[in-house]
Structure 1
């Protein structure tokens, strides 16, 4: 797996590069179809931010984590990335669009009793409408 690490307002030290690569290597063991991950580290005032971008099975996945310490931000972003990859893997495994419904719906023929009830119901409905029209005037 190819890991690209870049910094914005921060120098990428060997220690930071080792930590990022080590943590992302664990993810690549769980998801061998990952080909590349781009990591961008940013420092703004007291906030340390890391953004991770990758493509997994045709879907772009991006996560961002911010913390006062860079190493905590790295750990948090890797955890978020693993969660996002797990979610995407679940979506792919669910096969929502290939499910078939084999249930057959049976329609019962109306009985004479049902027809009488329907007719009686219709008469009561019409009487109620007459009552409403009288009440409105």
Structure 2
């Protein structure tokens, strides 16, 4: 939480007419254009994924669904999201194809909010992060 004085300053700015939607007034500067973003999206679509890596993503998703600690596991849509984030991560690193390392790197940020643990597992101190780390360790990684 911000300090009280900082919150009063924020409220003062709003009371005086500040609009967070006015990006120029907020001091926000353009870093990339819409065309730059479209070009990046197109480049990410060109990152390839081998069948064994796609199978790895499916195996990870199925492992969440089979875990006794999980009430709601990773859906096929979650698997698609992991594929998309792994492709973006690969592109950012200059790789033309995703690897298991890309999948592993993006698993937590992509799935952390998508799983629901059983109440008894939460009471026992199980966390989604620990569960996903365990699944990563137990799932066979393609070569």
Under TM normalisation by the shorter chain, which class is it? under 0.3
Q: TM-score, normalised by structure 1?
A: 0.24
Normalized per residue, which structure has more strand?
1
Q: TM-score, normalised by structure 2?
A: 0.24
Answer 1 or 2: higher relative contact order, Cα 8 Å, separation at least 6.
2
Normalized per residue, which structure has more helix?
2
